[in-house]
Amino acid sequence: MSNGPLQIKAISGHAGPVPGRDASRDYDVCKLVDVTTCIGCKACEVACLEWNGYPFRETVFDNTYQTMPDLAWNYYNLIRFDEHVAEDGTLSWLMRKDQCMHCADPGCLLACPADGAIVQYSNGIVDFQQEHCIGCQYCVTGCPFNIPKFNKETKKVHKCTLCSDRVGAGLEPACIKACPTGCLHFGSKDDMKELAETRVRQLHEHSSHKNAGVYDPAGVGGTHVIYVLHDKDHPERYGGLPKDPQIPLLVRLWKGPLKWLGNIAIAAGIIGVATHYLRFGPKRAEEETKGEPK
Amino acid sequence: MTNGWIDIKNTDMMLIMGGNPAENHPCGFKWAIEAKRQRNAQMIVVDPRFTRTAAVADLFLQIRAGADIAFLGGVIHYALENQRVAKEYLVNYTNAAFLVKDGFKLPEDGLYSGFDAATQTYNKSTWNYEEAGGGKSAADAPPSLPPNVAYDAALEHPRSVYQLLKKHYSRYTPEMVERITGIPKDQFLKAADLFTSIRKDGDTRKAATIIYAVGWTQHTFGSQIIRTAAMLQLLLGNVGRAGGGVNALRGHSNIQGATDIAGVFDILPGYLKVPNPTDQNFAAWMKRITPTSAKPKEWDSWNYWSNTARFAVSLMKSMYGDAARKDNDWAFSYLPKVDREYSWAHIWDEMYQGKVKGLLAFGMNGVAIGPNSQKNIDALKKADWLVVCEIYPDETSSFWQSPGITREQMKNIPTEVYRLPGAGFAEKDGTFVNSARWLQWKWAALPPPGQARLDQEILARIFLNVRELYKKDGGKFPDPILNLSWSYTDPNNPSLSEVARELNGRALADVTDPATQQIIKAGQQLPGFAFLRDDGSTACGNWLWCGSWTEAGALMQRRGTDDPSGLGIYPNWAWSWPMNRRVMYNRASCDENGKPWDPARRQVWWNEAQKRWTGNDVPDFKADSQPKDHMGPFIMNPEGVGRLFVPLGGMADGPFPEHYEPFESPIANPLHPKQSNNPVVKKYKSDLDKFGTPEQGFTVVCTTYRLTEHYHYWTKNNPMNVQLVPEMFVEIPAELANEMGITGGEKVKVTSARGTYLAKAMVTRRIRPMTIDGKKVYQIGIPIHQGYRGIQEDEGKVPRTIANLLSPAVTDPNAYTPEFKGFLVKIEKA
């Protein structure tokens, strides 16, 4: 699917104009994950790894089919496996593809203080630009889905790019291409919503999943990755998908109405440092301690 | 598959049992999902474990491993009791109306008529149809089918197949099903009602499919499980129809091709039965293996195997060229006369006895694939030589390094081992024949690395050297070696396109089709097996593949994506045997008059104006046989109809499938405790062929299987796969784990009468405790991918034990498949 070249809509920590802020696009892109037809084959995990050129890692057995407990800075896509026993004893084995949700109202971007480290394209993709990342990990705090992961060596944060490099070139994300059952779909948000709603109606009419529904949480303005769940009222059963995700209040306040507080604090800090210097002069290094660093 | 992968999208109902396609065939499984999404098809999954397939099913039932015939027999009973059968189909397209000989006895006590306890074999003379008009064959004549079969179209005669079937399965009540399978009666009834609901109120439009894999074949009664499924599908009128059929999912990319081309000891290419020592000449062989039609007088039967001689002579011409002539009986003397069973377990048994001296192992890992791997390891110690062609050092070529062998002992193993560097699948061209019977050409993606060589080059060079030795030194019987046709452009490395053309076959003299007057000139590729002759004027390496590479080109290389009917037939994509038919027996998709049961899924139909069968698919039928002639749609059976009752030697263990217990079972068979197992099961007598009983403490039922993340014993050499599942495990019901104090991730030891397997415990609720005949029974599951060679194994990070150290070398008497599912073990903390 071609969506034309990427156009930036929002930039983290950026005071100046944003080229695509008021531009209107034909459509937003969206990934639909129909959890009710996912077989947990992990083809998406492998495709993601291969497209992004990340190395294979050592994993350990952990009493589950799940590859590892959580996403990693170089592992953007993980199927979460959960066994659930209903009140009537019926067992279900839930397999949910976990990755960045590409929120319309991205908490990571809001929290990020580094100019240009996180951008949101007008097609909805939220992308990290590691060359501008300062490693403060505020984005980790800002994300209600626990997605961004910190690389301790490079001090940069990484996450799923929704294959912005592929999508920008008119291709679908690598995970979509690899999915063998067609439980992954990619298209405009409107189309994906409609596809998801159609599937939900089918589940209501022709399956025992009378409480099936679409997961597109309003608390973050909707997402560009949406799920069809067997039970929309219990997303937390699917590897802890939050029921009503919100950008943490502190992040909202801090980057919104209380931003002036921060600015005052910064100014006060600078004044304080200057005063300190004038009053006490430069700080002299004490004699270095010998031996092993702690 | 009678149908094909894509055709699954046309179904209304799926019974997936004895297979876990979401796990093992994730790409093909898209069509099952498609049926759910596009047709609201229902999916029933019956398995010993709650699998990845079960995760997307509409109804899941947990069954005890090895109780499948009881379940399916129960569904047959339910369908008959509730009139959920396709009556017109049943009467006309199956042998339901045929009468069975007086003296035939059903196995109320576990034995059919004719059992000889001393030899543990059946005299099958009563397993036959009654001849119409009371005709009697001579008492000393070998039993054969009567040409004129007595029948009762009303299906009321007490000895009609239908009435016998009804009586046989009347014992498979929901209560009995519960006792044997462990599936609670109400759940069983729910499944039986759902599956047979497609024939509710006489509806004939809907279609149901049955999908299975080696979870059905790997039992001491595996062939009979599949027969039970076929019978159920015949009763419901689902065979030959889009969205129907009995569909075997093959576990390797080319296992269908391997079978077609005779990778089994008792057939030649194209499923021709091998000669045996009683066949004194070509004609005697043909007489024995060519069936004569057996049908009610008023009906017609094409009996396509009556062409056997055309296939066989063309095969001999293909193999031996001018050395196979009419005056030397088509070189019949060159063919080995197979005097007994040479099946997989048998080869290893004979090697263990010191009789088989050497083994060439290509594309298989004999030690790891077992069964009873320790016996295979010990057998190899006794061989003189072993040649393994592989892409990794595997367990078989490293058998002398298997755990438990000391350096001192290694020195005393005399076996000379040769490792040949093979080429990987992406480094070779050629065809895969998939489960849907498509011959699909593939092109090499890259050349083999280093000194690795293509299979055909390795085999050709071995063959040519052997032939040189025979030329130089002579031998007991050099003729078949010296005269083998080997006319490839590069004899040392035959191109597979040349081999494919040879398999398709060509005319050796001008051949005319009597029906169309079409002439195929000498030297031209044959357009199909209708042109094969038994006079030596055609050569064909495999009659079933005739038509795949014709004068029109390499049809197996086609990639046409047009699908005019929308049924997923894709007639111009690759080539499907036989004659590009995508659904076999598709005549049965129409009623007696040649009108499709479901006009929305029209495959073939009778065109009255043209007086021909025509359609979206290639008719699998005599094109000009009018409906009023009543020719049966199952043209490969001499009866022309589908067999609910298999007469004579068709099955070794009975005309109707009967539930027998796995060879090692936690209970005595509730149907007949005194005849608990299959009476004609194949087993071996070596000191390593040991069997366990519940009394000895082997109380847990164990089953083995594969994972999506791994492929047999190869991917443990690939870091990508190892990353996804780094260690093998034993799946243990949470209740059993609680009883034993085992926690997830803890190391456990699983022991059978034959060996020990070590791995970590995966404690799960996906396997539940079962009540079998009143007894509490636990099942556990073991993925098979662990060995003693691989990334984790070589680094000492996992126990170097093989799952098949546990499994028994006891086999199905028809297909000789070992019982890898449902044997007994005990489990403890390691």
Q: Are residues B790 and B710 in the same domain?
A: yes
CB contact under 8 A, B33 and A182: yes
Mean pLDDT, rounded, for B162-173: 98
C-beta atoms surrounding B790 within 10 Å: 26
Question: Quick check: B261 and B18 in contact, CB under 8 A?
Answer: no
- Encoding tokens for residue A209? 């999943």
Q: What is the CATH number of the domain that holds B712?
A: 2.40.40.20
Looking at residue B397, its pLDDT comes to 97
pLDDT bin (cut points 50, 70, 90) of residue B140 is: low
Residue B678 lies in a domain: yes
Determine which of B723, B747, B768 to mutate to test the interface with A (most A C-beta atoms within 10 Å): B723
CB contact under 8 A, B23 and A64: no
- Encoding tokens for residue B643? 């067999």
Give residue B796's domain range.
673-829
Residue B733 lies in a domain: yes
Element at B7 (helix H, strand E) = none
Whether residue B334 is predicted with pLDDT greater than 90 in this model: the reply is yes
Q: Among the listed ranges A278-287, B288-297, B456-465, B734-743, which one has the minimum average pLDDT value?
A: A278-287
Grouping H, G, I as helix, E, B as strand and the rest as coil, residue B399 is helix
Mean pLDDT (chain A) is 90
Cα gap B288→B335, rounded to integer Å: 16
Does the structure's ipTM exceed the value 0.90? yes
Query: Rounded to the nearest 10 degrees, what angle do helices B174-181 and B68-81 cross at?
Result: 170
Residue A49 with chain B: CB contacts under 8 Å? 720
Looking at residue A293, its pLDDT comes to 46
CB contact under 8 A, B724 and A46: yes
Mean pLDDT, rounded, for A64-82: 97
Q: Does B33 touch chain A (CB under 8 A)?
A: yes
* Identity of the residue numbered A151: N
Whether residue B788 is predicted with pLDDT greater than 60 in this model: the reply is yes
B92 phi, psi to nearest 5 deg: -95, -30
CB contact under 8 A, A83 and B764: yes
CB contact under 8 A, A67 and B723: yes
Q: Are residues B748 and B818 in the same domain?
A: yes
Residue of B nearest to A58 (CA): B723
CB contact under 8 A, B29 and A92: no
Looking at residue A285, its pLDDT comes to 66
Q: Does B54 touch chain A (CB under 8 A)?
A: yes
* Identity of the residue numbered B486: W
- Encoding tokens for residue A5? 């070249």
Percentage with pLDDT > 70 across chain B: 99
Q: Are residues B646 and B709 in the same domain?
A: no
A to B CB pairs, distance under 8 Å: 100
Q: Are residues B645 and B746 in the same domain?
A: no
Residue of A nearest to B58 (CA): A207
Residue B726 with chain A: CB contacts under 8 Å? 58-61
Q: Are residues B644 and B762 in the same domain?
A: no
Q: Topology of A8-247 in CATH?
A: Alpha-Beta Plaits (3.30.70)
pLDDT bin (cut points 50, 70, 90) of residue A258 is: confident
Q: Are residues B688 and B793 in the same domain?
A: yes
Q: Are residues B700 and B644 in the same domain?
A: no
- Encoding tokens for residue B138? 């001579």
Mean pLDDT, rounded, for B316-323: 98
Residue B740 lies in a domain: yes
Option in A60, A180, A206 nearest B29 (CB): A180
> Considering its fold, how many domains does chain B have in total?
2
Q: Are residues B646 and B771 in the same domain?
A: no
- Encoding tokens for residue A39? 């077989």
B334 Cα to chain A: minimum distance (Å) = 48
**What would the pLDDT profile of B184-218 be if each residue is shown by its tens digit?**
999 999 999 999 999 999 999 999 999 999 999 99
Single pTM value for the model: 0.95
List A residues 229-288 in contact with B (Cβ-Cβ < 8 A): none
CB contact under 8 A, A83 and B727: no
- Encoding tokens for residue B454? 């293509």
Q: Does A201 touch chain B (CB under 8 A)?
A: no
Q: Are residues B644 and B747 in the same domain?
A: no
Q: Are residues B83 and B186 in the same domain?
A: yes
Residue of A nearest to B38 (CA): A202
CB contact under 8 A, B56 and A42: no
Residue B814 lies in a domain: yes
Contacts of B93 (CB under 8 A, 6+ apart): B234, B237, B240, B588, B632, B633, B634, B641, B642
Whether residue A257 is predicted with pLDDT greater than 90 in this model: the reply is no
Residue B58 lies in a domain: yes
Q: Does B489 touch chain A (CB under 8 A)?
A: no
Whether residue B137 is predicted with pLDDT greater than 70 in this model: the reply is no
What are the distances in angstroms from CA A246 to CA A118, A176, A220? Answer: 19, 27, 6
Outline where DSSP puts E strands in B259-325: 267-268, 272-273
pLDDT bin (cut points 50, 70, 90) of residue A266 is: confident
Domain end call among B582, B617, B650: B650
Residue B463 lies in a domain: no
B572 Cα to chain A: minimum distance (Å) = 23
Determine which of A33, A41, A202, A206 to mutate to test the interface with B (most B C-beta atoms within 10 Å): A41
Q: Does B38 touch chain A (CB under 8 A)?
A: no
Determine which of A44, A60, A63 to mutate to test the interface with B (most B C-beta atoms within 10 Å): A63
CB contact under 8 A, A64 and B762: yes
Cα gap A42→A67, rounded to integer Å: 9
Domain ranges of chain A: 8-247, 248-282
Q: Are residues B644 and B767 in the same domain?
A: no
Whether residue B773 is predicted with pLDDT greater than 60 in this model: the reply is yes
- Encoding tokens for residue B296? 């009610």
Percentage with pLDDT > 90 across chain B: 97
Mean pLDDT, rounded, for A68-93: 96
Q: What is the CATH number of the domain that holds B59?
A: 3.40.228.10
Question: Quick check: B820 and B807 in contact, CB under 8 A?
Answer: yes
B709 Cα to chain A: minimum distance (Å) = 7
Q: Does B37 touch chain A (CB under 8 A)?
A: yes
Q: Does B27 touch chain A (CB under 8 A)?
A: yes
Q: Are residues B646 and B695 in the same domain?
A: no
B48 Cα to chain A: minimum distance (Å) = 14
Q: What is the DSSP letter of B94?
A: B
Q: Does A53 touch chain B (CB under 8 A)?
A: no
Q: Does A39 touch chain B (CB under 8 A)?
A: yes
Q: Does A59 touch chain B (CB under 8 A)?
A: yes
Whether residue A27 is predicted with pLDDT greater than 80 in this model: the reply is no
Cα gap A271→A269, rounded to integer Å: 5
B506 Cα to chain A: minimum distance (Å) = 40
Residue B370 lies in a domain: no
Q: Does B474 touch chain A (CB under 8 A)?
A: no
**What would the pLDDT profile of B465-513 be if each residue is shown by its tens digit?**
999 999 999 999 999 999 999 999 999 999 999 999 999 999 999 999 8
* Identity of the residue numbered A194: E
Residue B498 lies in a domain: no
B191 phi, psi to nearest 5 deg: -70, -45
